[in-house]
Chain A
């Protein structure tokens, strides 16, 4: 038994030391990675951002709001911190991270849609891994992303199974996505693909009580800290709105109640002229580069008016 414990202890010590060193190397590399999943977090963490406006949203936030255009028209410094594929819970996590590491913004442009006030499904949860060894990030994410104390306190284990991320962390060639990004914005220079529209039958406005609570306390926090929030319905291909309706009226009523409570303006582009032309979209719910530029210009003009009030 003694021999067993000594040998196993030695094995475990070697394993632990290796894991600890690898963790250091990988975490450091990943915190400087420019891969899409890590980029926004890394910029916020490393670059001392001082922005007046942050844009919050899901993929529809990420590909539709161009900070360059907003900057030039409003004359304020904007950054797009949208999180691809994620609902309000992950967006608020990002916002919290932003406020912790960068200067608090004056305005938040919050993209809202049918699926904003839901809990995310863990899509690309690897985005949190490089920062999971901090209390802030762990507290914020462990419930919704299913992290445990093992991920928080033991070295390396949290990366297990994410082979592309591991390769990135160790400096090997990998397949992580690295699109052109400008201040968190990803222009998609693509033409219309109708397949999403054909399969979109299940689109429906819904909300989840837990997510509503997150949404509410986030808005309350902004109000308390004097950050002005503007809610925006970005354009969506009109076919979607007409074909299935997805509970549009219910959605309007839902967000209107929050707008009234927190005295937030809502800008609505659901029926904007852009929505009638598939040339501006790459699929039913996402504007392409051209569409995004036009939309952002219109939005910027409206915001300029709004901020001037």
Chain B
């Protein structure tokens, strides 16, 4: 049940009215209802894994209480470790076990040892990467004293399974539980803004991402027959595809949250206007970056603090490999992470790592030339990474790179995917709007627009783009993670 589907619309209309009318007065009843709705939503996609989600939730709920009650530091620390091991174990088992078995079997094979290892038939639960991260961060935050352990199992379970976020994020920190605990008031501005954000998300997903996907899939599936320019274009459009797809989905999730009175954490802040790779990661999948920063990078950085910049680089490299691997069990993701980690090295050495530059504009409101150079360089580096990300194997990625330059760049490839002009136009529209709205939370914030007529023109303009050029086949790139 993705957000842009009929079942979800029906589901959400029912949720919205039940939540705001009969249950309006009691937050507790609202929360129970949200939990039931979330489990229904999850079960609708994958009912067989629902018990797993429930058991994991219960275990971590009690771990939280256990850590809170521990009188000795030792016991608390032990329970925390147990939680982390369980959470990571869950993820390792479902997501990475087969990958490790195969990789080690291959390795032993290469050094002449024959193994009899078989991979298992494991079905990955939907959203496992997202909810295990929420579970792990909960025990860590309780242990670190960032949040009080909650006694209300409904609130905790709703935080873990909250239906707008369970399948594809954003990954809210445990502080989100306080929003579930508090009474929500319906806020007109927030709700309308939520609807606008959903509309903007729909545009990015259906018009930009899915049209890019048509071209990218075509070129990637026949990349040996394509011209250099088609490969180059596919790499660029693939970056936009992944961005529009995932940020579009996040916008919809956040918008749905707003309609229920929640503020879900922001997930993207115009990553294509980043001036360097560090800046990029502060703007890209921010809820993941911030999670990994808090629970992986900071501890590592602390451990390595005596080694100065070298320690920091080590911490970043490990951190980025974790980010890469989070996306899936494949060596391409390891290389993807390592590649990004290495891109941080010059930034750490030069001290540009942490500088938060304000974007500068020239007289006509476009990015200043120097910034534009940084953006283009960052974008190119990121697009190279996306090829690794998208390829099925490292070998394929390498061949893809070499072909961009070796096959005649302007020759027409055998498969002859030309330049998809219309798709480029969609990407351009998205970029222009996001540039104009770069200081807003999303592309369709209409705070300054007083005229109802102009707003309606915006809504209907976007709707007609979605209506005419949307691709209606209900897949999200990030569901597989």
Contact = CB atoms under 8 A, between A and B. Distances in A.
Q: Do chains A and B touch in the complex (CB under 8 A)?
A: yes
Interface of A: 1, 3-4, 7-8, 11, 14-15, 18, 148, 150, 156, 159-161, 163, 166
B186 A1 contact: yes
| Most A CB within 10 A of own CB, among B459, B467, B470, B472 | B467
Nearest to A148: B6
Contact of A4 (B186, B467, B468): B186
Given A1-B20, A1-B186, A3-B188, A161 B6 contact: no
B335 to A, nearest CB: 34
A7 B463 CA distance: 17
30 contacts: A1-B20, A1-B186, A1-B188, A3-B188, A4-B188, A4-B191, A7-B192, A11-B456, A14-B456, A15-B460, A15-B463, A18-B460, A148-B6, A150-B6, A156-B467, A159-B467, A160-B466, A160-B467, A160-B470, A160-B472, A161-B467, A161-B468, A161-B469, A161-B470, A161-B471, A161-B472, A163-B468, A163-B469, A166-B467, A166-B468
A32 B191 CA distance: 43
A138 B186 CA distance: 41
Given A3-B188, A4-B191, A150-B6, 14 more contacts: A1-B186, A1-B188, A4-B192, A7-B192, A11-B456, A148-B6, A156-B467, A159-B467, A160-B466, A160-B467, A161-B469, A161-B470, A161-B471, A161-B472
Contacts of A1: 20, 186, 188
Contacts of B463: 15
Interface string B452-481: 000010011001001111111000000000
Nearest to B190: A4
Contacts of A11: 456, 459
A161 B471 CA distance: 6
Contacts of B471: 161
Contacts of A14: 456
Contacts of A18: 460
A193 to B, nearest CB: 15
List the 8 closest pairs (A to B, CB-CB), nearest first: A163-B468, A1-B186, A161-B472, A161-B470, A150-B6, A160-B467, A4-B188, A166-B468
Contacts of A7: 192
B472 to A, nearest CB: 5
B45 interface: no
Interface of B: 6, 20, 186, 188, 191-192, 195, 456, 459-460, 463, 466-472
Most buried by B among A4, A14, A15: A4
Interface centre among B20, B191, B468, B471 (most CB of A within 10 A): B468
A161 B6 CA distance: 16
Contacts of A156: 467
Nearest to B189: A4
Contacts of B466: 160
Contacts of B460: 15, 18
A11 to B, nearest CB: 7
Which of A11, A15, A159 has its CB near the most chain B CB atoms (within 10 A)?
A11
Contacts of B468: 161, 163, 166
A156 B468 CA distance: 11
A132 B381 CA distance: 48
A90 to B, nearest CB: 20
A210 to B, nearest CB: 23
A161 B460 CA distance: 16
B475 to A, nearest CB: 14
A169 B418 CA distance: 28
A11 B453 CA distance: 11
Contacts of A4: 186, 188, 191-192
A15 B471 CA distance: 20
Contacts of A160: 466-467, 470, 472
Contacts of B470: 160-161
B238 to A, nearest CB: 21
Contacts of A8: 195
Contacts of B195: 8
A156 B460 CA distance: 14
Contacts of A161: 467-472
Nearest to A167: B468
A59 B468 CA distance: 28
A267 to B, nearest CB: 39
A3 B190 CA distance: 13
Nearest to A156: B467
A11 B460 CA distance: 10
A150 B472 CA distance: 13
Nearest to B466: A160
A18 B460 CA distance: 10
B16 to A, nearest CB: 10
Contacts of B186: 1, 4
A14 B452 CA distance: 13
A87 to B, nearest CB: 21
A8 B469 CA distance: 25
Nearest to B463: A15
A100 to B, nearest CB: 29
A94 B192 CA distance: 46
A35 B456 CA distance: 34
A264 B69 CA distance: 84
A148 to B, nearest CB: 6
B242 to A, nearest CB: 21
B295 to A, nearest CB: 39
Nearest to A165: B468
B456 to A, nearest CB: 7
A7 B456 CA distance: 12
A125 to B, nearest CB: 12
Contacts of B472: 160-161
A123 to B, nearest CB: 15
B104 to A, nearest CB: 37
Contacts of A163: 468-469
Contacts of A148: 6
Contacts of B20: 1
Interface centre among A1, A159, A166 (most CB of B within 10 A): A1
Nearest to B207: A161
A199 to B, nearest CB: 12
Nearest to A159: B467
A148 B10 CA distance: 14
A166 B465 CA distance: 12
A124 B439 CA distance: 43
Contacts of B459: 11
Contacts of B6: 148, 150
A8 B341 CA distance: 47
A171 B112 CA distance: 70
Nearest to B192: A4
A5 B471 CA distance: 30
A80 B219 CA distance: 38
A131 B151 CA distance: 58
A93 to B, nearest CB: 22
A156 B470 CA distance: 14
